[in-house]
Structure 1
């Protein structure tokens, strides 16, 4: 089977799979009032359904998988999900994005199950600011879990921080101190407008390129982008053990290098985080004999992927908040 490619020549070796829409944080930019389940919504994919889904995507060239949520650790069977995912032939990189609340207690279990890359959301190194953003005073424990991960042989440990004007956008010096002796990747993510955060977006959006300019003026150098890398433009500096990545969705040509697809917790394929529609795949996940149908369904839809998102026009598609699609 040929690798999955769209009409613009982009290939997709990278899948982001949400395993649950629920989250135990109340981040101001995502779920400020907490998660509220839709009583009419279907439950998340089962282990068998996840296995069949991943087999279909690996048939089409996917080899990097990121488990997301909501918050994936809310699922009690997360270690089992990681284990079945790692066992799918063709999956060579198994990553996860988490808020880190269970990291210090579950890291060993997750690594034993096959996890070999982790991103932890840490929007501030200031305890008060972190609590203000997330609704939880958990920074110390989360950073302890991050240090535990750095002490292992895990190939990739990264942090994610959403930039918020007048909240955490002046913390670069503190972050640089943190990165000086830690071999960790830090991702600064530009705040994105979603279906239900427009007032917040208008108050707190700051262009990530502003921070990028500061880095370049301070001697940070751009690194080449790997074929299966995420959307960050990555920088390094000889004086720092850590690296910094900038995710700037409002920058020119941001979508040119798109290499990832998304599947929601209930099995809908999303060709773009801010797409106008979802493509139900769950009906192809009920039996092993449906693999060919699944592959054809995915391959037959890739031609509908747009060349870019429409965030500049204020169009956010069917994404009410980032937890709903896996960020």
Structure 2
């Protein structure tokens, strides 16, 4: 299905929980978030029904996010259900990687094809500080397990924060040399916990690219937002996701579903449709509401403009 600007929308990101086992500084308050009643949250059965509706409209890619999706009980069963839905070609997951090593095999056998792992430092002490308690060695073990299972390319998401981790971009880039790893540098966005200080800590991806140097441009995958490059002779790739300095809204192909059942046509808009309410009142209307949501998708975001409204959700509640 196409939206009102003739963009083909075939990708849905679904947050299956807003809870997380980390407290990353730009993502979640230090004390965590208020745990909602389970009746306010989408059940796995409801998620499955929504995905069936989405598939009928041409959605063929699903990415499960959180919070941290691997803290959700029975996630393997959910992946198995989604992967079996007619029309769904690709099921992926974004995770912080802490629990990945022990779960990767079961997830892969259930139908999970790819993983994106969020990791903002390769220094144990710094990683622990950024995440407020995370253990880097657990994440590195999870990355190795994903590589062992050939869930390739394994993608590492790195948010570059001025004064915090910009001195590590060369080290992250080197990870792509010997392994089928894609490192994706993501510009810091003024969302949730970072809304008050992101502008002061912002590092553009042009600056990151300059620091790395020697990059070879690649033909870009039009299904994703990353501008792709490669170091000479490297097995993996380096991607730059530029939501601020060079937004990719013109090629956006996705919609988002929060864990409490709100459909977001755009990540950076406060406009939400209560799909859980529709599902509970009359499931027959879900297809129609999804269609209207896709058609209401805005042309672009307005981050760092006078038209930008500060979001009322933390990134952990949206799923990124």
Matched, 1:251 2:250: no
What corresponds to 1:178 in structure 2?
Answer: 175
The answer as to whether partners of 2:153 and 2:236 remain within 8 angstroms in 1 is: no
Paired residues for 1:288-299 under 5 Å: 290-291=283-284, 293-299=285-291
1:301 Cα deviation from its structure 2 partner:
2.6
The answer as to whether partners of 2:169 and 2:211 remain within 8 angstroms in 1 is: no
- Give the Cα separation in 2 of the matches to 1:203 and 1:308: 23
**1:74 aligned residue (71, 76, 84):** 71
Task: Provide closer, same or farther for how the CA distance between residues 80 and 34 of structure 1 changes in structure 2, counting only shifts above 3 A.
Answer: farther
What CA RMSD, in Å, does the superposition of the two structures yield over aligned residues? 2.0
The answer as to whether partners of 1:86 and 1:94 remain within 8 angstroms in 2 is: yes
What corresponds to 2:292 in structure 1?
Answer: 300
Matched, 1:322 2:319: no
In the alignment of these two chains, the number of paired residues is 319
TM-score by structure 2 length?
Answer: 0.93
1:116 Cα deviation from its structure 2 partner:
0.5
Give the match's secondary structure for 1:128: helix
- Give the Cα separation in 2 of the matches to 1:84 and 1:319: 32
Give the match's secondary structure for 1:262: strand
What corresponds to 1:313 in structure 2?
Answer: 305
Give the match's secondary structure for 2:76: helix
Matched, 1:262 2:256: yes
- Give the Cα separation in 1 of the matches to 2:295 and 2:159: 31
- Give the Cα separation in 1 of the matches to 2:156 and 2:266: 23
Give the gaps of 5 or more residues in structure 2.
Answer: none
1:38 Cα deviation from its structure 2 partner:
4.9
What corresponds to 2:81 in structure 1?
Answer: 84
- Please say which of residues 315-324 and 174-183 is displaced more in the overlay: 315-324
- Give the Cα separation in 1 of the matches to 2:111 and 2:10: 19
- Give the Cα separation in 2 of the matches to 1:263 and 1:39: 16
Matched, 1:49 2:46: yes
- Give the Cα separation in 2 of the matches to 1:119 and 1:160: 7
- Give the Cα separation in 2 of the matches to 1:272 and 1:93: 21
Give the match's secondary structure for 2:197: helix
TM-score by structure 1 length?
Answer: 0.91
Cα deviations across residues 123-153 of structure 1 (Å, max 9, x unaligned)? Answer: 1111121111111241112101101111113
Paired residues for 1:86-105 under 5 Å: 86-105=83-102
Give the match's secondary structure for 1:312: coil
Give the match's secondary structure for 2:196: helix
What corresponds to 2:191 in structure 1?
Answer: 194
Paired residues for 1:273-284 under 5 Å: 273-284=267-278
1:196 Cα deviation from its structure 2 partner:
4.0
The answer as to whether partners of 1:22 and 1:70 remain within 8 angstroms in 2 is: yes
Give the gaps of 5 or more residues in structure 1.
Answer: none
Give the match's secondary structure for 1:199: coil
Cα deviations across residues 67-100 of structure 1 (Å, max 9, x unaligned)? Answer: 0001101211211111111111111110000001
